[in-house]
Amino acid sequence: MVRNWDTIRAILLKLETAETAHTTLTQGQVEGVAPQEAGYHMMLMNDAGLIEASISKSSTGDGAINAAIARRLTWDGHEFLDKIRDPSMWGKIKSKEPLAKLTLQG
């Protein structure tokens, strides 16, 4: 599956607007994004330390994600979201220009 920056940004923004420190954003609650894609991106961001999430993978070995629940942004997740708020930086990410200062980890 291809990494989709719009999906990453949508999940981070949705978590940031949560009313409590620990929420339950499921893979089916990311508007305009297929559940498998949302789950995959939650897994990527959890691996990168941007969010805390629980991921349940299929036991059949097909790589499918049965359930993904994002709970909160981490410190690095907040820092990364702050970086991609800037319209010029967001434009660079979407156009896949080389970004010396931007990493998935804070």
- 103, part of any domain: no
- Assess whether pLDDT exceeds 80 at residue 39: yes
Domain count, the chain: 1
- Evaluate if residue 22 carries a pLDDT over 90: no
Among 37, 79, 77, 71, smallest CA distance to 54 is for: 71
Query: In whole angstroms, how large is the CA radius of gyration of the chain?
Result: 14
pLDDT (0 to 100) of residue 13: 92
Please give the residue range of the domain that contains residue 82: 5-94
Is there a domain that residue 105 lies in?
Answer: no
Q: Is the pTM of this model over 0.85?
A: no
Condensed to tens digits (0 to 9), the pLDDT of residues 54-99 reads 999 888 877 788 889 999 999 999 999 998 887 787 787 777 655 4
CATH number at residue 82: 1.10.10.10
- Start-to-end C-alpha separation, the chain: 23
